[in-house]
Amino acid sequence: MSQISITVDGAKSSVEIDARPTQIFAERKEIIVCKVNGVLKDLWTELSEGDAVEGISISSPEGLSVLRHSTAHVMAQAVQQVFAQTRLGIGPPITDGFYYDFDPERPFNPEDLEKVESAMRKIVKDGQRFRRRVTTEADALKELAHEPYKCELIGLKAGAGDEASVEVGGSELTIYDNLGRDGQPVWSDLCRGPHLPSTKHIPAFKLMRSAAAYWRGSEKNPMLQRIYGTAWPSQDELTAYLDLLAEAEKRDHRRLGTELDLFSFPEEIGSGLAVFHPKGGIIRRAMEDYSRKRHEDEGYEFVYSPHLTKAALFEKSGHLQWYSEGMYPPMIMDEELHSDGTIKRAGQQYYMKPMNCPFHNLIFASRGRSYRELPLRLFEFGTVYRYEKSGVIHGLTRARGFTQDDAHIYCTKEQMVDELDSLLTFVLNLLRDYGLEDFYLELSTRNPEKSVGEDADWAEATEALRKAAVAQKLELVLDEGGAAFYGPKISVQAKDAIGRTWQMSTIQVDFQLPQRFELEYSATDGTRQRPVMIHRALFGSIERFFGVLTEHYSGAFPPWLAPVQVTAIPVAEAFVDYLAGVVKAFKSAGIRIDLDASDDRMQKKIRNAQMQKVPYMLIAGEEDQLAGKVSIRYRNGEQKNGIAVVDAIAEIQSAIRDRKQV
RNA sequence: GCCCCCCUAGCUCAGACGGUAGAGCGUUUCCAUGGUAAGGAAAAGGUCACCGGUUCGAUUCCGGUGGGGGGCUCCA
């Protein structure tokens, strides 16, 4: 038998001429796909003299994608088994799983998913081999004549690289057949591959939910039914993933908002409009107060502006031209009509503000400005109203009325570099003070087709942002062409306690508004110059940041933010008076403390305080009373007994002052 | 905005060929005076989201409106 020389994972090797990677990696169960000369291939692929073969583990990013994409195929096969009249869309792998879009006779319901899932288990058990088959456009169109969406993809093959690339891709058109035990195809799908060697290489999967999605992502296209699933290299990893989802659900700010009595969305007010209850109010005020103080230290000046304005302001800023669909419709005031209903005197149109910047520009322009005043930093907790589409509203993180911690910095071009650098440092340190630790930065650059301004200005501002970002020594992701039309921006992405990423702060350079508002300052040489304008919000919106922090802390806020910092619990009613005195001392030390004098038993009181996630419990009974002391029970169940009241106050005060988590 | 699903007590949820409803927690009152995550008893609490239609009769079936959820799209 003749042999060929190849390299396997870098080591020279000699194999039979018709050997396949399945045989080469037969001993290594984790290898489910391979790279041949750097290109991802099935393990069934043919090898040639001199090929460099590299085994890809199911746990690697590429391996996971292949696992998930193959699972999507299994799902599609199962769906067509259970619902024969269903047409196929596309089925790519995504983060943590996969989906497949279908055009079924009727939308799926949860019982349908169960049926599909058990059909899938059977297919996995069958161990169907995935076979790659090269075909031609004509043959594929004939073979897939009953699959209109697939035919459309074949037609799009030329434009590979978009979302259709998983299905068609590269230079060859391929179909994958699933082979039954007898080696005959039981199911086929247009696909670029590669795939697992067989369906039995799917160790663990679960269907998650069904939802609707537009064909190829466009509103103009028909709506398909999408089924989401997840697949993992082991049952343990699947379980861990499901646990993470359960954990995320437990810390959902909408749920905690009700459980901890923080806020609500009364139907009477309207969708996306929150009210903060007293406990939520305390947290929010603590957040705002600290932010205010830090901004003061940083040289910001505080301004206020109304929630309403005449249309002219947003015409000047340009918002009415390109943002009107996101604004609440105008209120028309002082209009007078003739008796026939025609207009006698045109009214004034007033809008709720969706942004604060035009107001700050008016403050800047209210009098002549000197270079000596720059950088001028105007800060406002400005409440804005945006008519978000009903389908996108989500608790506090996506609302229709919200308050931005908004500031606009007006500076000279020369000051821009330093200003951006110190600004970014300020932003990150402030976020750290709120307990977020893990960040990366995203730099959005110009889209030449959709932007205004001079090339040189863009280049300068982008470079200034980039320098500022690099100075932070954080991971920097480039969002090429992702900037708004009026200037480049940096956004800070923060990871929360369970590893989810949230876009937090944005810092945006603006070339457009200073021009539209004809902002000027007098320079050292007496000439009038246009300032650079920087928009920045640290929280984005206070409501959103509140929601993110609630989920980050799972409602167990650090003492400085906790609505109730201490609950005092008497062992029995007889000690209420003693504790009342202690509580008074805590209150005069500025600590938010409640005395639980209800007729519950102390065990119940501890449980209640625990469920409300109060950071400290102060417990006192006879021993404590006689000694003039208290016991501190911490949120984690630990306890310190026999603490002098002054010491307890000092300890809790310092934790609050240092914004420590306990 | 689009597709699907949901809305029953303050909260979490049962329930009924169409004949106006239950539990646990919470609340109130009483009893119990208890050292580390639920002591006991009783009571109050509902136009079954709202508006129409079908029906002898609708919380239940149908339609609309509002609100919520999961996605799509969008997020300047």
Alpha carbons A79 and A130: distance in angstroms, whole number = 18
Which of A529, A553, A577 lies at the terminal end of a domain, its last residue?
A553
Q: Is residue A268 part of a domain?
A: no
Q: In terms of domains, do A488 and A502 share one?
A: yes
Cβ–Cβ under 8 Å, residues A409 and A422: no
The series of mean pLDDT values per 10 residues for chain A, 662 residues long, is 84 86 88 89 88 90 94 93 88 90 82 84 92 88 89 70 46 86 90 90 89 82 87 92 86 91 89 92 96 96 96 90 85 85 85 94 96 96 92 91 95 94 95 94 87 85 92 91 87 90 91 92 95 94 94 95 96 92 96 93 94 95 92 94 95 96 92
- Residue (of A389, A454, A473, A375) closest to A417 by Cα position: A375
Catalytic pick from A357, A400, A405, A596? A357
Q: Give the strands of the sheet with A173-179, arranged side by side.
A: A129-135, A173-179, A185-190
Q: Is the CB of A601 under 7 A from strand B?
A: yes
Q: Is residue A369 part of a domain?
A: yes
Alpha carbons A100 and A93: distance in angstroms, whole number = 9
Whole-number distance in Å between A29 CA and B4 C1' = 40
Q: Is residue A596 part of a domain?
A: yes
Cβ–Cβ under 8 Å, residues A6 and A53: yes
Catalytic pick from A157, A489, A605, A613? A489
- On strand B, nucleotides with any atom < 7 Å from a protein CB are 1-5, 11-12, 26-27, 30-39, 66-76
Report the nearest residue to nucleotide B35, CA vs C1'.
A571
Alpha carbons A190 and A73: distance in angstroms, whole number = 10
Report the nearest residue to nucleotide B39, CA vs C1'.
A601
Give the total number of structural domains in chain A.
4
Both tokens of A157, joined, read 């093959």
Chain A window 201-220, residues with Cβ within 7 A of nucleic strand B? 209-214, 217-219
Alpha carbons A362 and A309: distance in angstroms, whole number = 12
* Ramachandran bin of A249, using left for φ above 0, alpha for ψ from -120 to 50, beta for the remaining angles: alpha
What b/e sequence results for A520-542 when a residue is b if at least 16 CB atoms lie within 10 Å of its CB, and e otherwise?
A: bbeeeeeeebbbbbbbbbbbbbb
Q: In terms of domains, do A28 and A88 share one?
A: no
- Residue (of A402, A396, A368, A367) closest to A382 by Cα position: A402
Q: In terms of domains, do A422 and A471 share one?
A: yes
Which of A553, A586, A616 lies at the terminal end of a domain, its last residue?
A553
Q: In terms of domains, do A487 and A630 share one?
A: no
Both tokens of A575, joined, read 């000690």
Q: In terms of domains, do A520 and A597 share one?
A: no
Q: In terms of domains, do A585 and A636 share one?
A: yes
Q: Is the CB of A393 under 7 A from strand B?
A: yes
Q: Is residue A315 part of a domain?
A: no
Q: In terms of domains, do A105 and A126 share one?
A: yes
A404 among known catalytic residues: yes
A386 among known catalytic residues: yes
3-state SS, residue A526 = coil
A535 among known catalytic residues: yes
Q: Is residue A322 part of a domain?
A: no
Instruction: CATH number of the domain at A33, please.
Output: 3.10.20.30
Catalytic pick from A192, A226, A535, A536? A535
Q: Is the CB of A222 under 7 A from strand B?
A: no
* Ramachandran bin of A169, using left for φ above 0, alpha for ψ from -120 to 50, beta for the remaining angles: left
Instruction: CATH number of the domain at A643, please.
Output: 3.40.50.800
Q: Is residue A537 part of a domain?
A: yes
Alpha carbons A178 and A198: distance in angstroms, whole number = 8
Which of A553, A587, A608 lies at the terminal end of a domain, its last residue?
A553
Q: In terms of domains, do A624 and A504 share one?
A: no
Three-class HEC string of A424-462: HHHHHHHHHHCCCCEEEEEEECCCCCCCCCCHHHHHHHH
What's the length of chain A? 662
Instruction: CATH number of the domain at A233, please.
Output: 3.30.980.10
Q: In terms of domains, do A507 and A629 share one?
A: no
Q: Is residue A340 part of a domain?
A: no
Q: Is the CB of A501 under 7 A from strand B?
A: no
Catalytic pick from A406, A421, A496, A624? A406
Q: What is the pLDDT of residue A166?
A: 47
Alpha carbons A491 and A377: distance in angstroms, whole number = 19
Chain A window 469-498, residues with Cβ within 7 A of nucleic strand B? 484-486
Owning domain of residue A27: 3-57
Provide, for chain A, the percentages of residues in helix, strand and coil under a 3-state DSSP scheme, each rounded to the nearest 5: 35, 30, 35
Strand partners, A85: none
Q: Is the CB of A453 under 7 A from strand B?
A: no
Instruction: CATH number of the domain at A545, please.
Output: 3.30.930.10
Q: In terms of domains, do A578 and A610 share one?
A: yes
Q: In terms of domains, do A41 and A90 share one?
A: no
Q: Is residue A442 part of a domain?
A: yes
Report the nearest residue to nucleotide B1, CA vs C1'.
A389
Q: In terms of domains, do A485 and A449 share one?
A: yes
Q: What is the pLDDT of residue A121?
A: 92
